Amino acid sequence: MSAKTARQKWLPALPILDWGRRYNQDKLTGDLLAAVIVTLMLIPQSLAYAMLAGLPPEVGLYTSIAPLVLYAIFGSSRVLAVGPVAVVSLMTATAIGDHAVAGSQAYWAIAITLAFLSGAMLFIMGILRLGFLANFLSHPVISGFISAAGLLIAAGQLKILLGVSYMGVTANGDNFFAQMASLAQQIPHIHALTFTVGTLTLIFLLSIRIGLKPLLTRLGMSPKTATTLARIGPVVAIVATIFLTYIFQWQTQGLKIVGSIPQGLPPFSMPLWDLSLWKELALPALLISIVGFVESISVGQTLAAKKRQRIEPDQELVALGASNLSASFTGGFPVTGGFARSVVNFDAGARTPAAGVFTAIGIALAALFLTPMLFYLPQATLSATIIIAVLSLVDFSILKKTWRYSKSDFAAAIITLLVTLIINVEIGLLVGISVSLALYLYRTSRPHIATVGMVPGTEHFRNVLRHDVLVSPKLVSLRVDGSLYFANVRALEDSVNEAVATHPQLQHLVLQCSAINDVDASALESLEAINQRLSDAGIALHLSEVKGPVMDKLQQTDFLRDLSGQIFLTHYQAIHELVPEIQR
């Protein structure tokens, strides 16, 4: 029994054994319908995000097959739809940009290696149960980062939409403001036909998103079905622009098209076994892993909660790790769970991860048979679909909200946003994490320490600065509102020193410990030093209202033995005994 438990703890679980055993006709119907709709949504997204990552479009299709199957085996979410997503694709482009030219074979090989490293990291983090690491990415940092990434992506795609740049040469990693400036300079060189096709697609997609849903709802369709239908808008845009380009042969007039895409299933691929490359890719791979994990788990949790289900963060790491590893062996780039896609999967009635397997089959069929039809697909159409998709990422409401609620959260959000826009996604994320941790540590390093006095006629004690309370020149009571640890214990020393310096007749100092949940070794040493210093100055140090667990810990130490004063159960007892002249 215990051997089995140990094995269960160290080996990744296989949720498929759970839901697979209870699979039935009813679930099959729901999964199949959802898979058809997600496949229709995923085909244009795969092509577009491959392009955004600087890779040939077919790589997008390759990346949407094996990872889905692996997620179905290991994933703990019933409805999460994995595959290429916008932010991770941008991060991929940024990570590879310094090493190879977008569109080249070398670039693709590095993308495969990045998927391998990211997959290996996620898998190992899952096995070691390090899912908690993602907790150190605060909401303001994530929001600032995602908004900035959305703006960076839109800026890059705008160039393709205007016909001043094209697939594979978009500088995704650039400074946002520099990109906008160069865009402004290039306005005279806009390619009219590309601009027309791109802009009309954009308007069409926007009006579908804004207008179709209310229209369908008014025609009596359920809001969920209407939303799902609106999500397939890009397929219509793609079919229409392919058809028009074919009819009018617009590519002869300079419209950039996708061109010939190799037909067939994903190739077997291997990461580059190059340690120096691995070292350079390690940090980007880690950041991609963490961002992908956070994105995936937040949508997974939201959807699971709607059906009173749970997802297991460490199991999700294993599943995303396996997905990315499978991507690296089938010519793919980093993947994660996509928000819009998973919501559509959920709304369309997916019941089990089998829907992901059916979607993978759908994409495989597309890779086998559909690619010749994509020859005439204008790149501007794909750019328009990307721009529409990332517009929903850009959301400055966090700035307004945190500005009102908490200035330090606001600082974390705005710094992440600006550094990501001005430098790049990697530095932006790292600076954001550092700033949010630094601000948290700064806050905890200044605990609230109040000098308290007795409320007349009661046994209660309150801050002397806020209330009219009884005090004595012989005794000072200090209350620390927080646990004591190395970074905040100096604040206590300062308060004690100040109390001593301002009370020449001081004989007793009482620490009211009711809010102290923990005392670390540094704080213990400081308490010993405070006790020693007070004792040298002829002042006794007393403690009151020490919590049980803290008392247990202190009892193993010399501090209590050397304590010059006493320990009181209640603060009132301390005052009553030490300065009986203060009457309540």
Q: Which residues bind a second copy (CB under 8 A)?
A: 132, 134-140, 301-302, 304-310, 313, 398, 401-402, 404-406, 408-410, 436-437, 440-446, 481-482, 485-491, 493-494, 497-498, 500-501, 504, 515, 517-518, 520-522, 524-526, 529, 533-534, 536-537, 553, 556-557
Cβ-based nearer residue to a second copy, 9 or 307:
307
Residue 179 or 336: the one with the smaller Cβ distance to a second copy is: 336
Structure tokens at 373: 């039809």
Q: Terminal CA-to-CA distance of the chain, rounded, Å? A: 62
Stated length of the chain: 584
CB neighbour list of residue 29: distance below 8 Å, 6 or more residues apart: none
Closer residue to a second copy (CB): 147 or 381: 147
Give me the least distance between CB of 520 and a second copy, in Å please: 6
Q: Which is nearer to a second copy, 131 or 233 (CB)?
A: 131
Tell me how far apart the alpha carbons of residues 92 and 72 are, in angstroms, rounded to a whole number.
24
The dihedral of CA 157, 169, 86, 239: what is its sign?
positive
* Least CB distance to a second copy at residue 517 (A): 6
Please answer whether residues 57 and 42 qualify as being in contact, where contact means their C-beta atoms are separated by less than 8 angstroms: no
| Closest approach of a second copy to the CB of residue 367, in Å | 37
Shortest distance (Å) from residue 451 CB to a second copy: 16
| Residue closer to a second copy (CB basis): 330 or 526 | 526
Q: Cβ closer to a second copy: 307 or 584?
A: 307
Query: Residue 136 or residue 243: which is nearer to a second copy going by CB?
Result: 136
Bridge-based pairing state of the strands 567-568 and 475-481: unpaired
Pairing label, strands 448-454, 461-463 = antiparallel
Nearer to a second copy, 9 or 446 (CB): 446
Amino acid at 301: Q
Q: What is the DSSP string of 232-301?
A: THHHHHHHHHHHHHHHHTGGGGT--B------SSPPP------HHHHHHHHHHHHHHHHHHHHHHHHHHH
Smallest gap from Cβ 579 to a second copy, in A, equals 20
**What is the C-alpha separation between 149 and 289, in angstroms, rounded?**
16
CA R_g for the chain? 31
Could you tell me which residues come within 8 angstroms of residue 352 by beta carbon, excluding any fewer than 6 positions away? 19, 20, 23, 27, 31, 78
What is the residue whose two structure tokens read 């009892």? 555
> With respect to a second copy, which residue has the nearer C-beta, 327 or 480?
480
Q: Do 334 and 292 meet the contact criterion of CB atoms below 8 Å apart?
A: yes
Least Cβ distance, residue 170 to a second copy (angstroms): 33
Nearest distance in Å: CB 312, a second copy: 9
Q: How far apart are CA 419 and CA 53, in angstroms?
A: 21
Helical spans, DSSP H, in 366-454: 379-391, 397-405, 407-422, 425-444
In the bound state with a second copy, the residue whose beta carbon lies nearer, of 200 and 491, is 491
CB of 136 to a second copy, least distance (A): 5
CB of 370 to a second copy, least distance (A): 37
The distance of closest approach from Cβ of residue 533 to a second copy in the complex, given in angstroms and rounded to an integer, is 3
**Do residues 279 and 322 make contact, with C-beta atoms less than 8 angstroms apart?**
no
